[in-house]
């Protein structure tokens, strides 16, 4: 099952509060009224710049990892461009993805990983590893000055 784009866990998985009104009363008492922050309700509402990879780069990645193992669509790139730390989730909920990765690749073998790394090194493409996607220290955010791909291991 795919992971949530807006928080921890998998899509469809919920953790309801036993007393939601009591929870929000407590939060308001501790933090005060902060007003409503702009919030998107769908990942499709995020404005993600086009991928900076050239067509030949994408085709080379598909040859290295498999046709269906490479994604350049905006929603997949948005999810893979930040972690699940509090600030990351808040930015994404506001629709802010300032420097999205240019492609996401799901290699299945060591040989595919080696081929992707060789290709990236030869073309000056930054590779960002993506495991569980938590990255509470900003490690998933690509450098802004060069094209990048995110290598997603696992599901």
Q: Give the per-residue pLDDT at 2.
A: 75
pLDDT reading at 155 higher than 70: no
Q: Is residue 122 part of a domain?
A: yes
Q: Give the per-residue pLDDT at 37.
A: 64
Eight-class DSSP state of 36: P
Q: Is residue 8 part of a domain?
A: no
- Cα distances from 19 to residues 15, 33, 107, 148, in angstroms, run 12, 19, 44, 44
Q: Is residue 138 part of a domain?
A: yes
Domain count, the chain: 1
Backbone angles phi, psi at 129, to 5 degrees: -75, 145
Q: Is residue 27 part of a domain?
A: yes
- pTM given for the model: 0.76
Task: Read off the CATH number of the domain in which 125 is found.
Answer: 3.30.43.10
Q: Is residue 7 part of a domain?
A: no
Digit-coded pLDDT (tens) for 101-154: 999 999 999 999 999 999 999 999 999 998 776 666 666 677 788 999 999 886
Q: Is residue 12 part of a domain?
A: no
Q: What range defines the domain where residue 112 resides?
A: 20-152
C-alpha–C-alpha distance, residues 44 and 52, integer Å? 19
Supply 125's token pair: 């493409």
Digit-coded pLDDT (tens) for 17-62: 888 888 878 877 877 766 666 778 888 888 899 999 999 999 999 9
Q: Is residue 2 part of a domain?
A: no
Q: Is residue 10 part of a domain?
A: no
């Amino acid at each position: 099952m795919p992971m949530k784009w807006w928080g921890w866990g998998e899509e469809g998985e919920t953790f309801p509060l036993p007393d939601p009104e009591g929870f929000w009363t407590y939060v308001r008492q501790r933090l005060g009224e902060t007003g409503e922050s702009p919030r998107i309700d769908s990942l499709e509402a995020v404005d993600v710049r086009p991928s900076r990879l050239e067509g030949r780069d994408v085709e080379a990645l598909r040859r290295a990892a498999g046709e269906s193992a490479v994604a350049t669509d905006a929603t997949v790139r948005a999810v893979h461009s930040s972690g699940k730390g509090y600030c990351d989730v808040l930015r994404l909920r506001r629709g802010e993805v300032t420097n999205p990765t240019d492609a996401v690749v799901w290699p299945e073998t060591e040989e595919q990983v080696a081929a992707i790394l060789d290709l990236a090194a030869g073309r000056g493409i930054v590779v960002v590893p993506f495991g569980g996607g938590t990255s509470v220290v900003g490690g998933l955010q690509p450098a802004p000055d060069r094209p990048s791909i995110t290598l997603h291991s696992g599901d």
